[in-house]
A and B are shown apart, each in its own frame.
Chain A
């Protein structure tokens, strides 16, 4: 019992955060958290130590979260069209704003919320490669294996996911800058 409690204590943060990122839904992330540890303790006898315990639990978490996502098939709709590119002026404004006050923006709770919202709104087929490759640091091949797809498909989804997130951030910054500009003018 003591050892199990220690395992939960050590890895619940990793499991919960990975599930939350992949699912973008606290309630479903909690279900994955519970299901993951149930599987971990059910299979603990079969853990041979070929990988670290952390890696083993990480894989079980990813698989459990993916199974949960596959139940919601409608969210796997593949959007083949590339996101439309915004005008360059929007990206220039984004870069200027990020360079002018990077900390202020990152500490802004509204900005953090917009980041999470943008991620949650991303189609699953774009979100997963972005999280696994860009945030979690898996290789392209590992992402392809995890998602049971090809490396070129992962690259295409990564491009679309990154571009869509970038555009949502650029929109947020544009709205914020326009809003603050209006305040300055009216005050």
Chain B
């Protein structure tokens, strides 16, 4: 297993509702270590989630904030 895979496997097993030492997790680890195709599947999914997580939060547009304060009868600062 590549460096950095163990934390990922922990997250994967947690997502599956399994303990890291469970038979299912052990089986998954063993298979991934020897199967490039499945490993690629897992790696690309992992990168996809990381990319979406890394997207920065958006600022509330000025006009949206203005209309919100108006609806709530609050004065802009």
- Chain A positions within 8 Å of B, measured between CB atoms, are 1, 4-5, 8-9, 12-13, 16-17, 20, 26, 30, 33-34, 37-38, 41, 85, 88, 91-92, 94-95, 98, 106, 112, 115, 119, 130, 133-135, 140, 151, 155, 158, 162-163, 165-166, 169-170
- When distances are taken between beta carbons in the complex, the residues of chain A under 8 Å from B16 are 155
Q: Give chain A residues whose Cβ lies under 8 Å from the Cβ of B2.
A: none
* Complex CA distance for A20 and B37, rounded to whole angstroms: 35
Residues of A within 8 A of B54 (CB): 106
State the CA gap A53–B65 with chains docked (Å): 20
Is there contact, CB below 8 Å, between A34 and B51?
A: no
Flag if A95 contacts B17 (CB, 8 Å): no
Tally chain B residues at the interface, Cβ within 8 Å: 31
| B15 contacts chain A at the CB level, 8 A cutoff | yes
Query: What is the minimal beta-carbon distance from A22 to any residue of chain B, in angstroms?
Result: 13
In whole angstroms, how far apart are the Cα atoms of A10 and B36 in the complex?
Answer: 47
Distance in angstroms between the alpha carbons of A151 and B17 in the assembled complex = 9
Q: Give chain B's interface residues, CB within 8 Å of chain A.
A: 15-17, 37, 40-41, 43-45, 47-49, 51-55, 57-60, 64-65, 67-69, 71-72, 74-75, 77
Across the interface, B64 reaches (CB within 8 A) one of A16, A134, A151, namely A16
Q: Are B40 and A91 in contact (CB under 8 A)?
A: yes
Let me know if A37 and B68 touch, CB within 8 A. Answer: yes
Q: How many A-B residue pairs have CB under 8 A?
A: 91
Q: Which of A1, A38, A134, A135 has the most CB of B within 10 A?
A: A134
> Which of chain A's residues have a CB closer than 8 A to the CB of B60?
12-13, 16, 33
Please, which residues of chain A bring their CB within 8 A of the CB of B48?
162, 165-166, 169
B64 — nearest CB in chain A belongs to which residue? A30
Name 7 A/B residue pairs within 8 A (Cβ), A-sorted. A8-B74, A12-B68, A91-B41, A95-B40, A140-B15, A165-B52, A169-B51
Contact at B57–A1, with CB atoms within 8 Å?
no
- In the A-B complex, list the 9 residue pairs whose CB atoms are closest, starting with the nearest: A166-B48, A91-B44, A16-B60, A91-B40, A134-B49, A17-B57, A34-B71, A162-B45, A5-B74
Does the CB pair A158–B52 fall under 8 Å? no
C-alpha gap A73/B8 in the complex (Å): 36
Q: Assess the A16–B58 pair: CB atoms within 8 A.
A: yes
